[in-house]
Structure 1
């Protein structure tokens, strides 16, 4: 299954640590994508105000992973390879409106 809506032509120099299917993403990367301060990220993750999940690519996307971080208003997606190299990055921002619940769960487009 491909990841719809993701452009795969851009490579960003973000250091993401990969360990199997576990990834460590710098707070600055998450903060930038969700329009937060880096120091807000960890408490918001702990308080479940930021949800996150990892999806493994299949078929032609085998060996890639989609890392998703979402608040009630924004979603950040980072596609990485098995070594943690960023393939693409995208954000969805609903401004003053809440992100639909369907956009805050695994498999959402």
Structure 2
């Protein structure tokens, strides 16, 4: 799969892409998103990166980043470790 669907101002990410990136099942991806343990950040490119988008997903100390063109074609994908944010105290 080399394209992510545009949905107005945002994107629709197929669960299979995240399942592969985080070595999870698609059902586990959906559950993690509902529970808030799989989070996302969408950034629009500026300057020489105008017209590109960066979608970053984080889960369990790992991140997956997709760089897209304006039509949603995947230009690059990267995976890397990240520090987990501190948990909110009750």
Question: What is the TM-score when the length of structure 1 is the normalising length?
Answer: 0.71
Structure 1 outlier segments of 4+, above 4 Å = none
Q: Quick check: 1:35 aligned with 2:23?
A: yes
1:14 Cα deviation from its structure 2 partner: 2.3
Find the aligned partners of 1:43 and 1:27 in 2 and give their Cα distance.
11
CA RMSD of aligned residues (A): 1.5
Structure 2 spans left out of the alignment, 5+ residues? 86-90
Aligned length: 85
User: Structure 1: any 5+ residue segments left out of the alignment?
Assistant: 1-12, 94-98, 103-109
TM-score normalised by structure 2 residue count = 0.85
Which residue, out of 11, 27, 45, partners 2:33? 45
